[in-house]
Amino acid sequence: MTRTFFVGGNWKMNGSTAFIEDLSNSFTAASHVSKDTEVVIGAPYVYIPLLTKVLRKDWGVAAENCHSLASGAYTGEVSAEMLKDVGATWVILGHSERRSIFNESDEFVAEKVKKALSVGLKVILCCGELLEEREAGKTQEVVNRQLTAVVKAISESDWENVVIAYEPVWAIGTGKVATPEQAQEVHFEIREFLSHNVSAKVAKETRIIYGGSVTEKNCNEIGKKPDVDGFLVGGASLKPSFIDICNAIA
């Protein structure tokens, strides 16, 4: 089975109506975008309705987070049901910024993954280690711990709607990038983890993408590795040259 290459954009807390319209127009006007790649753009909540209107129709729209409950007295939070109601089809969960800045635990991330899947959203599930954890040789221990919480929360059939994004925290927004060999090593181990803890089928079919200072200049070499099925792109997804990343395997 061939896994469809996947490229996600994560705009984080950036954008405006005018900027999103202009950037989306540049994406639409691109002369060539590989039809062998699935592309999804993650935007701040408030711009999701706009993005569903102006983004090219062959690309998906993601939120950057959601709550684990459907409604309630949680001022400032947004539910998975609300995201689906305004047009999102994907949601990014477990990003290192949510885990470190907002203190989201592995278990809370898993609850949100379960909730999002239950209402029909697909999930980009992020995992990754800090620099000190890598230097201590704990990369796989940390990644496995983060994934174990999700394995316990969802069923085997749910995994067909999950993309795993391995994002070493030390490479996010720093300009540092894991070497193709480092990325491949962790992706291979994640696939082994899925095989032993979910099923061989899930391990074979789940797409595992790399994130961490990905640009149009470094994506081609990383994308050639057998267990790298695409990218989750931060700052570079806010530029017209994001198209070049979408064409990394073309």
- The model's pLDDT over 178-211, given as tens digits with 9 standing for 90+, comes to 899 999 999 999 999 999 999 999 999 999 999 9
pLDDT for residue 114:
98
pLDDT for residue 176:
81
- The model's pLDDT over 35-73, given as tens digits with 9 standing for 90+, comes to 899 999 999 999 999 999 999 999 999 999 999 999 999
Residue 244 pLDDT class (50, 70, 90 cuts) = very high
pLDDT for residue 34:
85
Report residue 164 as tokens.
């795993």
- For 19-40, what is the mean pLDDT? 93
Q: Where are the beta strands (DSSP E) in the chain?
A: 5-10, 37-42, 60-63, 90-93, 122-127, 162-166, 208-211, 230-233
pLDDT for residue 249:
87
Residue positions annotated with a catalytic role: 95, 167
* First CA to last CA distance, the chain: 19
pTM value? 0.97
- For 232-243, what is the mean pLDDT? 96
Residue 32 pLDDT class (50, 70, 90 cuts) = confident
Task: Give the C-alpha distances (Å, rounded to integers) separating 229 from 5, 19, 163, 219.
Answer: 5, 29, 9, 11
Instruction: Evaluate if residue 173 carries a pLDDT over 90.
Output: no
- For 10-34, what is the mean pLDDT? 95
Q: What is the mean pLDDT of the chain?
A: 96
Q: Can you list the domains of the chain with their CATH numbers?
A: 5-246 (3.20.20.70)
Q: What are phi and psi of 122, to 5 degrees?
A: -90, 155
Give the separation between CA 214 and CA 219, rounded to whole angstroms.
6
Report residue 47 as tokens.
């711009």
- The model's pLDDT over 100-115, given as tens digits with 9 standing for 90+, comes to 999 999 999 999 999 9
pLDDT for residue 228:
97
